Amino acid sequence: MYDLSTPKSPTIRLTDEQVAFYHENGYLRIEQISVPEELEALRAIYDRLFEQKAGRERGQQFDLAGSDEDDAVAKLPQILDPSSFAPEMRNTYIWANAKQICRQLEDQEDPGIGDHAILKPAGYGAPTPWHQDEAYWSPNFHYRSMSIWVPLQDADERSGCLAFMPGSHKGHVVPHRQIGGDPRVHGLEIDPDANVDFSGAVFCPLPAGGCTVHHNRTMHYAPPNVGDQPRRAWILGTGGPATELETPNDYYWQKAWATARQERASKA
Ligand code: NI
C-alpha cells in the first residue's frame, strides 16, 4: 500500500523561464508532479468518492453540465473539496508540489489550497466550454489565484485535456452565461455574443500526474472525452490573498443561476 499517512516534501522547483512564461501567458505546463504509485492510490480514492456520491446532499457533489435532478445521470459530475472526504489526499506529492508552484508564482510562504474533482465519463460528448474561472466567483474582489489541473490518467485532445488562450489573463472577465443559456445549469460559458476569437488556442496534452497551471482570468476549454476511459481531473486552487474592490465587478450572469444544487444546499 502506498503510504499517505504523512505529508510529502515538494519534488519540483520552477525555473526562472517557467515563472516568466506563466506571468506572460497566464498558463504553464509541467511534465510531472507525482509518482505512479501515488496516482494509482488517488484513482481508487477518486472513484470511491464519486461512487458513494460523497457530499451530494450538502451540494458538494453535483452535475456541472446537466440539470442535476436527483434521478438524472450526471453528465459531468463534480465534487467540491474532495480532500475534505479523504484528507489523505493532502499527503501527496501533488499537494506539496502545488504549494511549491504557488510559492514561486505568487510569492506565498505557506499558501492555502482548495480542491475539486471533475470526472468526464468515457465517451462523453460535450466539451467544457470556454470560460474564465473568475466568472464563477464573487465580483467583490481582485484575485491572484491559480488552478493546478492534474489528470490522474493520460489526457490528450481526445480525452479532454485543457486548452488555453495565451495572454487572456491580462484582460477583463468577458460576459458569460449558463451553458446553452439554461439557468438550471451550474456551468458557465463565455457568451457567444462576446465574439471572442479562440483561434490562437494552445492544447496541453499531459501524462498522468503532469499538470497545467492557469490564472483566474485565463480563458480555457476542454474538448469532449471521446476516448474509452473516464477522464479524472483533480484541480487544486491556490494563490495570494484576494483584495476587496471599491467598485465591484458586474458579473450579472451569476444572478440567473437557479440550480437544483443550490436548492439542496439551502435545505441542508
Ligand atoms: Ni475552469
- 125: confidence class by pLDDT, cuts 50, 70, 90: confident
Of residues 92, 141, 87, 99, the one with CA closest to residue 238: 99
Is residue 70's pLDDT more than 80?
A: no
How far away, in angstroms, is 72 Cα from ligand 1 center?
23
Give the Cα separation of 174 and 130 in Å (integer): 11
Give the Cα separation of 15 and 70 in Å (integer): 47
How far away, in angstroms, is 242 Cα from ligand 1 center?
18
Question: How do residues 130-173 score in pLDDT, each as one tens digit?
Answer: 999 999 999 999 999 999 999 999 999 999 999 999 999 999 99
Question: How do residues 18-36 score in pLDDT, each as one tens digit?
Answer: 999 999 999 999 999 999 9
Residues 172 and 245 sit within 8 Å (Cβ to Cβ): no
How far away, in angstroms, is 3 Cα from ligand 1 center?
31
Of residues 221, 217, 213, 226, the one with CA closest to residue 179: 221
**Angle, helix 93-106 to helix 16-25, in steps of 10 degrees:** 70
How far away, in angstroms, is 2 Cα from ligand 1 center?
30
Determine the number of helices (DSSP H) and then strands (DSSP E) in the chain. Answer: 4, 13
User: Residue 8 in 3-state DSSP?
Assistant: coil
Residue 192 Cα to chain centre, angstroms: 22
The pTM of the whole model exceeds 0.75 = yes
